[in-house]
């Protein structure tokens, strides 16, 4: 399986939560898709990113990996901030630096352009054999998916 950073962007919190639940169900089936870690974030009207509260995160432990944390740091920008990160879930400076080093600039720019104020993203570090299952979930909920290979 190929290790991927997957970002699925949706127009509402409810839609993103439904998609996140479907991603978790796919992962539990052990049929070519496995979530290593993930988080659901919302970009508010002021452009700030907020990690949705713990009970809304379907991902076990709600842990943000180094690469996903690095992406959050880049998407928040130099004056932006990421709020609502639970203890143990936030990526520290070293983790963000490690994640940033692995992220392609074009990928980050593309995600940033799509993650407009009022939108919600499900960010996953996952392993997948093929993109079809995740793509079907995202398309079914009217979202847009972006990937960067991590291996």
Residue 98 has pLDDT above 50, yes or no: no
Give the single-character DSSP code of 67: H
Q: Is 88 helix (H, G, I), strand (E, B) or coil?
A: coil
Residues 6+ positions from 102 with CB-CB distance below 8 Å: 67, 70, 150
Dump pLDDT digits (tens) for 45-86. 888 888 885 444 456 555 566 777 777 777 776 545 555 544
Q: Which of 24-33, 44-53, 95-104 has the highest mean pLDDT?
A: 24-33
- Beta pairing partners, 10: 120
> In the chain, what is the straight-line distance between the N-terminal and C-terminal CA atoms, in Å?
10
Q: Which of 3-7, 50-54, 97-101, 102-106 has the highest mean pLDDT?
A: 3-7
DSSP 18-55: HHHHHHHHHHHTTSSEEEEEEEEEEE-TTS-EEEPPGG
Dump pLDDT digits (tens) for 111-123. 989 999 999 999 9
The answer to whether 122 touches 8, Cβ cutoff 8 Å, is: yes
Lowest mean pLDDT among 22-31, 35-44, 51-60, 122-131: 51-60
């Amino acid at each position: 399986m190929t290790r991927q950073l997957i970002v699925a962007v949706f127009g509402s919190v409810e839609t993103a939560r439904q998609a996140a639940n479907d991603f978790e169900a796919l992962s539990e089936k052990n049929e070519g898709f496995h979530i290593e870690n993930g988080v659901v974030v919302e970009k508010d009207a002021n452009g700030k990113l907020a990690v949705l509260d713990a009970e809304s995160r379907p991902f076990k432990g709600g842990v943000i990996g180094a690469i996903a944390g690095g992406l959050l740091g880049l998407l928040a920008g130099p004056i932006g901030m990421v709020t609502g990160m639970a203890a143990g879930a936030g990526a520290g400076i070293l983790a963000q630096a490690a994640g940033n080093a692995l992220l392609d600039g074009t990928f980050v720019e593309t995600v940033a352009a799509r993650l407009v104020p009022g939108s919600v993203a499900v960010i996953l570090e996952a392993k997948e054999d093929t993109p079809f299952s995740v793509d079907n979930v995202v398309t079914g909920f009217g979202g847009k998916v972006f990937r960067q290979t991590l291996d």
